[in-house]
Structure 1
Amino acid sequence: MTTLTEAFSLKGRTIETTVAYIQQFIDEHYQQVLQEYRQELEEIFARVSEPAYARYSQLLFQPVYDELKQAGLICDPAFPGTFPLSREQWGPQQERERRFWCVLHQEQTEDLGALVTCLFHDHSSFRIPRRPVVLSSILINQSVIAQMIEKSAIPGLQQY
């Protein structure tokens, strides 16, 4: 897999290029992280439940966050976003969806937009029922992004 910086030089420095790069990374690594850290994650879930998913996110998304920084992007808040700002889509215990977001800032040029990350999880046992999904938005105002996410009005969210 190429680096994000290489992807930018080939396809342009856009939010779409960023999302495509991140989604490819997720598709290639989300199961591997689950398998490699399953015992640790299940132990965390048995002790304190939800923080197991925070740990999973950290393990999966830290390399992406590092790539974003290396490409000169500033994430506000840090990629994929923060738990206090995130929104949970309620549904069956076995398939909840937590939506995170961050705005991508560039030095001396306009902001790229926002990354919206959907993490699917199970409240009854440690399980990731579907691969995480990353979507893009041209929005950069945190309050507006939160409102749009709550309404599932970000393009692509309606299908989840």
Structure 2
Amino acid sequence: MDFWQDMSIEEIGEQMQRFVSHNWKKTLHDHYEELTKAFPELEDSTYGLYLDKLMPPAFESLEACGFKTTHDTKKSDFLIGKSLNFRHSIEKWGTEEQRSRVFWIVVRDRQNNPIGTLLFDFFHSHAGFNVPKAPKISVIRETERGNIVEAVKRMKETG
């Protein structure tokens, strides 16, 4: 991955989208049998297993450049893919076959100053194991929870 110090949130978002677009299908293909076998028992948690395989290299590479993608993590938080926190997500859009859960990740620089927020829109099925399309990465400048939630809702409602 091509991350460097002093990147803007927009540049980080572009690199994250490039990584996800390039790797989501291969990761799905490489682990499909394991994930489909797990789905009857684990249901939605199976998507966490998938994201645990897909996303850590991207977040580790970003953090190696001095950026922080987790903060204010509580003991009760459920993290997947290294930096996707269920407490920082909303799922309320789409059909059973193509649900959308949007995670947000506030990115901080070396000095721990927030530079913006990555929005990770993950599409999945509740009817059976299926990732129908690539996750979509967007960025916003807002870094406070209330403003982020409002931005996510506007993004999803306006398409």
The structure 2 residue matched to 1:118, chosen from 121, 125, 134, is 121
- TM-score, structure 1 as length reference: 0.84
Residues 10-33 of structure 1: per-residue CA shift (max 9 Å, x gap): xx6111110110100011100000
| Superposition deviation, residue 43 in structure 1 | 1.7
Where does residue 91 of structure 1 map in the other structure? Answer: 94
- How far apart, in 2, do the equivalents of 1:91 and 1:4 lie? 32
CA gap of 1:139–1:157, structure 2 versus 1, over 3 A, is farther
Quote the RMSD (CA, aligned, Å).
2.0
- How far apart, in 2, do the equivalents of 1:157 and 1:132 lie? 17
Where does residue 27 of structure 1 map in the other structure? Answer: 21
Overall identity of the aligned pairs, in %: 23
| Superposition deviation, residue 115 in structure 1 | 0.3
CA gap of 1:72–1:96, structure 2 versus 1, over 3 A, is same
- How far apart, in 2, do the equivalents of 1:107 and 1:101 lie? 19
- TM-score, structure 2 as length reference: 0.85
Structure 2 unaligned blocks of 5 or more: 72-78
Where does residue 146 of structure 1 map in the other structure? Answer: 149
Task: Return the letter of the residue paired with 1:96.
Answer: R
| Superposition deviation, residue 83 in structure 1 | 1.5
| Superposition deviation, residue 80 in structure 1 | 4.6
- How far apart, in 1, do the equivalents of 2:157 and 2:21 lie? 18
Contact 1:104–1:114 (Cα < 8 Å) also in 2: yes
Task: Return the letter of the residue paired with 2:48.
Answer: A
Residues 75-126 of structure 1: per-residue CA shift (max 9 Å, x gap): 1357653113310033311010000001011123742200000000011110
Helix, strand or coil: the match of 1:13?
A: coil
Where does residue 60 of structure 2 map in the other structure? Answer: 66
Bigger RCO of structures 1 and 2 (CA < 8 A, at least 6 apart):
2
Structure 1 unaligned blocks of 5 or more: none
2:91 maps to 1:75: no
CA gap of 1:14–1:55, structure 2 versus 1, over 3 A, is same
Task: Return the letter of the residue paired with 1:72.
Answer: G
Instruction: Give the aligned length.
Output: 150
